[in-house]
Amino acid sequence: MRTESFQTPGHVRLDIRLGSGDVDVETADVAETTVELDGRDDVVEEARVECRVRDDGHEITVDLTKAQRRFGRGRDVTVRVSAPLGTDLKCQSGSADIEGRGDLGDVDIQTGSGEVDLGAVSGDAKVNAASGDVEITSVAGELKINTASGDIEVESVGRDGRINSASGDVQIREVGGELHVNSASGDVNVREVGVGGSVNTASGDVRIDAVQQGSFNVKSASGDLRVGIREGSRLYVDARSRSGEVSSELEVGSAEPEGEGPLVELRANTMSGDIQIVRA
């Protein structure tokens, strides 16, 4: 095992690069960053671990890519980092499980395969994964997730959320801004959306428990669609299903509804599947 410690008052940017292994980052109320590398001695010793002073703080680089390519088999390394609260995390991996605990700043993760599990993100979060589940507790800023296969579960997003998934279920509790989801296969379940957006699926059911305002477009080639409209919101709707039933608990008309309250413009379309519009 190799351990490196740096005094890092101010803002910290953490840049981790590895081929395979595990990454575990934990933030706490400290002014020091500690890096532990656990794996084959020759791989660990040749890893590049550096600290650079920047105008606004420090940048910590942990780079294992060259060492892992050189030594071949048995090259997996576990990277454990303890860092100050609000640390930005950038991680590039061929295959590694990545876990972030505590409060992180901005997050940018690219991984070929492996699970991604993050706690609270106070900035923006971007995750690109070829395969593996993605789970995030909260994102204060914007969220972008692209994954080829794997389930996605997010508790809350403060601003806009954009998700592209080839296969896997998408589950989100709350989005403060717009939500845009594109999914080839898998169910999409969202509890509440603040300001409209869109959900497009090739196959899979879509359930949006509550939309408060804005334009919201929902499409599915094969799958049931269920959308809830928040109490007090007005509704304009265009809902069509080629071979399925369309039902609404709310009054539906072709003209924009009169009265006060936020307006929801809902367009729902499915080739085969039922469409339900309900009061949230």
Residues 6+ apart with CB under 8 A from 137: 118, 119, 120, 155, 156
- 188 pLDDT above the threshold of 70: yes
- 255 pLDDT above the threshold of 70: no
pLDDT of residue 253: 57
Mean per-residue pLDDT, 185-212: 95
Name the pLDDT band for 26 (thresholds 50, 70, 90).
Answer: very high
137 in a structural domain: no
pTM, two decimal places? 0.93
164 in a structural domain: yes
Give the sign of the dihedral formed by CA 87, CA 90, CA 96, CA 97: positive
Average pLDDT along the chain? 94
126 in a structural domain: no
Query: Are 201 and 188 within 8 A, CB to CB?
Result: yes
The domain boundary, picked from 115, 130, 164, lies at 115
Same domain, 153 and 270: yes
Query: Are 130 and 111 within 8 A, CB to CB?
Result: yes
Share of the chain above pLDDT 70, in %: 96
Query: Are 236 and 254 within 8 A, CB to CB?
Result: no
How would you label 158-184 residue by residue, b for 16+ Cβ within 10 Å and e otherwise? bbbbbbbbbbbbbbbbbbbbbbbbbbb
229 in a structural domain: yes
- 260 pLDDT above the threshold of 60: yes
Residues 6+ apart with CB under 8 A from 273: 205, 220, 222, 223, 224, 225, 241, 244
Mean per-residue pLDDT, 8-37: 97
Same domain, 85 and 152: no
- 278 pLDDT above the threshold of 70: yes
**Residue (of 132, 140, 54) closest to 91 by Cα position:** 132
134 in a structural domain: no
Same domain, 160 and 96: no
pLDDT of residue 74: 62
Rounded CA separation 19/29 (Å): 30
Same domain, 148 and 252: yes
Same domain, 234 and 273: yes
- 258 pLDDT above the threshold of 80: no
Mean per-residue pLDDT, 152-164: 98
pLDDT of residue 261: 84
- The secondary structure of 155-207 as a DSSP string is EEESS-EEEEEEES-EEEEEESS-EEEEEEES-EEEEEESS-EEEEEEES-EE
Rounded CA separation 264/194 (Å): 11
Q: Which two tokens stand for residue 96?
A: 């590694």
136 in a structural domain: no
Host domain of residue 236: 142-280
Name the pLDDT band for 254 (thresholds 50, 70, 90).
Answer: low
The count of structural domains within the chain is 2
pLDDT of residue 169: 96
Same domain, 163 and 237: yes
Same domain, 96 and 147: no
Q: Which tens digit of pLDDT belongs to each residue from 99-145? A: 999 999 999 999 999 999 999 999 999 999 999 999 999 999 999 99
Question: Element (H or E) spanning 146, and its range?
Answer: strand 143-149
